[in-house]
Amino acid sequence: MFLRLSRPSSHPRLLHALGACALGVAALALTGCGSGATRAAALPAQIVRTTPLESMFSPGPINGDPMPLLEQLQRLGVDRVRVFMWWDHIAPDPASPVAPQGFDATDPAAYPASNWAHFDAIARDAKALGLGLDLTLGPPPPLWAEGPGAPATKYTWWEPNATEYGQFVTAVATRYSGTYTPSGASTPLPRVDFWSIWNEPNLGFQLAPQAIDNSTIEVSPRYYRELVDAAWSAFQGTGHGHDTILIGELGPAGDTTGAGPGNFNSMAPLQFLRGLYCVDSSYRLVKGTAAAELGCPTDAAGSAKFVAEHPALFSAPGFAIHPYSQGEAPNVPTPNEPDYAELASLNRLEQTLDTLQGVYGSHRQFPIWSTEFGYQTTPPDVERGVIPASWAPLYLNWAEYLSWLDPRIHSYDQYQLLDSTVGNFATGLELSNGTPQPAFYAYRMPIFLPVLTTVSAHPLEVWGCVRPAKFARGETRKPQRVRIQFQAASGDAWKTVKTVTLTDPYGYFDVYTVFPRSGSVRLAWSYPHGPEIHSRTVAITVR
């Protein structure tokens, strides 16, 4: 249950937060974690992040006028919005097996103007609000860009043609270069400078087939490698060579028993990565026939060219992961699944990526971007791995604290805003009718105390974030301050015990505070010309 960083001795608190707080029992998890007065008396060294931790938000489908949703996300304090651009939503005649005659897929003007309109509005509105975008160019492809031989009962993303995908990326990158003015417009569209290549390529409903010949030949890594190569070349050729371009976007789990990934199941992410980089389970280069089946070099001479032929695998600005915990507390990995990449086991992802780089003589250490995360809750979700909605505030705040402790993680993501009306994958902060859930308020202003029990006059660590503070600071031109408040167990009025000036550009802080006796702790902050808001409350014990 310990997550080891690449420099573990520099981050003992991450080891403590993951190990000592591993509760496992739901009822205990709801109270937080703590291990008594002796630990509280020995304060770890203060940790100050020197790398940013962006607040990313994946709201799901953005329907209709995007401005109200984007305004809400801005008010929540979101830095960057992940937007899915589905290839078949932009392409002409997506249900036809043949591309339109004379169609130049690299020219944005060759696509139906109406297909671009919604994304143009998102780009303009996001710029007006000061929000960044992560534009994910993903499946499904149009039918005319798929490979042959798909099963009759198939998903619409079978063996996507990498050349066609590269041409699509060229059109999108050209349109959002900052210099492209669509027909009928008077000003250029805003520039997009943050991209993701595909989505969850280790899941069969996003990229198929995953594996063939009774799951003995893992082919999806080869298809993804080709898609990445084509997209990378398109970005370099359209003036986006210095943008943030994320590869990976992997789901955290996969099918490791039974029939295996097959056509449409899923492949465990670290297994997928080994196939992507052409190594076996012992991290030795595959060769000969086995290599050819995976689209890999078959001899040493070919392996020597691998870095130059696949530059994104070694030079991409970041690697993206969706580190969903499988219904457990955020520090509890799924047992006996060494190829999973949940939040609690991101050390394995980091080590795997570093090892794969080393196979080819590279010392690259990818920054890790969490671009999709959340907890499925009931109600309304009834799938396996869900938690009660009342648990989500603690779990989400805990997960963000663990993310903040890891210097290689560059973002904390929430997926999604609204629960589905059918309750499928209900990770939203609001019910489908827009009613905020408890997690909404916990996301807006997270708080986490790694230790909940101390002795009199000994402080406790209070970590938190005022997510909207950055926009308030821009509006008022004044430093923002958060109040740490305490209420005695007897039910007295809330009192401010410490005021913290926020110096982190993303609103995070981490301080030690002495509390007079047992009771509850919360954060308080006020919007400029607006209401006072509060975090969730945390019960503490002072002996």
Are residues 362 and 495 located together in one domain of the fold?
Answer: no
Task: For residue 261, count other CB atoms closer than 10 A to its CB.
Answer: 26
Domain for residue 25, yes or no? no
217 inside domain? yes
Q: Are residues 117 and 40 in the same domain?
A: no
State how far the Cα of 263 lies from the Cα of 411, in Å rounded to an integer: 32
Phi, psi for 244 (deg, rounded to 5) = -85, 115
Q: Which of 312, 340, 372 lies at the terminal end of a domain, its last residue?
A: 372
Q: Which of 372, 390, 419 is the last residue of a domain?
A: 372
* Phi, psi of 242, deg, nearest 5: -105, 10
Rounded to 5 degrees, what are φ and ψ at 19? -85, -55
Q: What are phi and psi of 270, to 5 degrees?
A: -75, -30
Residue 9 inside a domain? The answer is no
Residues 95 and 35 in one domain: no
Q: Phi and psi (nearest 5°) for 226?
A: -70, -40
In a shared domain, residues 106 and 40:
no
Shared domain for 41 and 89, answered yes or no, is no
The pair phi, psi for residue 83, each rounded to 5°, is: -120, 130
Q: Which domain holds residue 526?
A: 31-46+447-542
Query: Which residue's entry shows tokens 């290549």?
Result: 197
Provide the pLDDT for residue 35.
Answer: 41
Q: Residues 123, 255: one domain?
A: yes
Q: Domain count for the chain, please give it.
A: 2
Q: 86-107 pLDDT, tens per residue?
A: 999 999 999 999 999 999 999 9
Is residue 422, in this structure, part of any structural domain at all?
no
Considering only CA atoms, give the Rg of the chain: 24
Looking at 340, 372, 404, the residue that finishes a domain is 372
Sequence-ordered alpha helix ranges (H) in 213-315: 220-237, 269-276, 288-293, 300-304, 306-309, 312-315
> Would 383 be classed as within a structural domain?
no
Strands 411-415 and 54-58: parallel
Q: For residue 440, what is the enclosing H or E element?
A: helix 438-444
- Beta strands (DSSP E) in 254-370 are 318-321, 368-370
**Quick one: 172 and 270 in the same domain?**
yes
Task: Name 409's bridge partners.
Answer: 368
Check whether residue 131 and residue 258 sit in a common domain. yes
459 cis-preceded (ω within 30 degrees of 0): no
What's the CA gap between 126 and 122, in Å, rounded? 6
Cα atoms in the 13 Å half-sphere on the side-chain side of 71: 4
Is 268 within the bounds of a domain? Answer: yes
Look at residue 342 and tell me if it is in a domain: yes
SS3 (DSSP) at 324: coil
Are residues 463 and 366 part of one domain?
no
CATH number (domain holding residue 479):
2.60.40.730
Here the CATH number for the domain that contains residue 287 is 3.20.20
Shared domain for 244 and 317, answered yes or no, is: yes
Please list the ranges in the chain whose pLDDT falls under 70: 1-46, 154, 423
**In this structure, are 110 and 240 located in the same domain?**
yes
Cβ(507)–Cβ(466) below 8 Å? yes
- Check whether residue 41 and residue 85 sit in a common domain: no
Closest by CA position to 365, among listed 76, 7, 81: 7
Residue 29 to residues 35, 313, 508: CA-CA distances in angstroms? Answer: 13, 39, 23
Q: Which residues of 489-509 are buried (b: 16+ CB within 10 A; e: fewer)?
A: eeeeebeeebebebebebbbb
How confident is the model at residue 61, as a pLDDT? 87
Question: What is the CB neighbour count within 10 angstroms for residue 380?
Answer: 18
Type of residue found at 468: P
> pTM for the complete prediction?
0.92
Rounded Cα distance between 34 and 44, Å, is 14
N-terminal to C-terminal alpha carbon distance within the chain: 29
Element (H, E) at 56: strand 54-58
| Domain membership flag for residue 361 | yes
521 within 8 A of 486, measured Cβ to Cβ = yes
